[in-house]
């Protein structure tokens, strides 16, 4: 599963690679994120850039104070980071994989492991193209960035999707859930 925020014009990072525009803190959104992380199990998948960003934030006292339930889940969850350039992954419960992303995710899926990709656009596009993503949960944030990166940079063929769920939030965010249509 993919869980990512995107701007109205389709970017998940701005032109500088920043994702802070997607983070909002209001009571309804806080309740949603708390409920969304309440389940146990599953493996979080990251590319190097997203991993380094998350690993520098969630273990901090500020994150634990501001979003205690999310921080607890992020810090305790099993994590896999795919990178050919990272030397070690020191965040709690993290495994570094330096070889073939697609083959490894296929293997993990055969073992029936639930997986969630956060950020990590390069991973999303590679796994989408290999038909290995079962669900896309996209939070459309009411902002136009004008430029940036899409989640699907590098995808070379059409991927028909069907909407399976949607939810609008009072802060303007809209959750759209899609599954492959074929």
Measured over the CA atoms of residue 137, residue 141, residue 143 and residue 148, the dihedral's sign is negative
**pLDDT tens readout for residues 16-40:** 988 888 877 778 877 887 777 656 6
Residues ≥6 apart with Cβ < 8 Å to 16: none
Residue with the two structure tokens 């029936």: 112
Strands 94-97 and 78-82, sheet pairing:
parallel
Question: pLDDT digits over 55-106, tens only?
Answer: 999 999 999 998 888 899 899 999 999 999 999 999 999 999 998 899 999 9
Place of tokens 């309804």: 28
Residue with the bigger pLDDT between 40 and 53: it is 53
Q: Which domains does the chain have, with CATH numbers?
A: 2-180 (3.40.430.10)
| pLDDT of 4 | 92
**Residues 95, 45: Cα–Cα separation, whole Å:** 10
């Amino acid at each position: 599963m993919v869980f990512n925020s995107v701007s109205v014009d389709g970017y998940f990072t701005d032109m500088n690679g920043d994702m802070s525009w997607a983070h909002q803190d209001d009571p309804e959104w806080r309740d949603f994120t708390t409920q969304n992380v309440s389940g146990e199990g599953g493996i979080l998948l990251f590319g190097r850039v997203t991993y380094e960003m998350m690993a520098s934030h969630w273990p901090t006292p500020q994150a634990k104070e501001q979003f205690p339930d999310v921080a607890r889940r992020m810090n305790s969850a099993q994590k896999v980071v795919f990178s050919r350039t990272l030397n070690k992954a020191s965040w709690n419960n993290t495994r570094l994989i330096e070889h073939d992303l697609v083959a490894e995710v296929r293997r993990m899926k055969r073992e029936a492991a639930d997986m969630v990709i956060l950020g990590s656009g390069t991973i999303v596009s590679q796994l989408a193209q290999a038909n290995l993503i079962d669900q896309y949960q996209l939070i459309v944030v009411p902002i136009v960035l004008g430029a940036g990166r899409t989640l699907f940079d590098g995808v070379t063929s059409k991927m028909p999707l069907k909407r399976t769920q949607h939810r609008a939030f009072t802060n303007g965010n809209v959750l759209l859930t899609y599954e492959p249509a074929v």
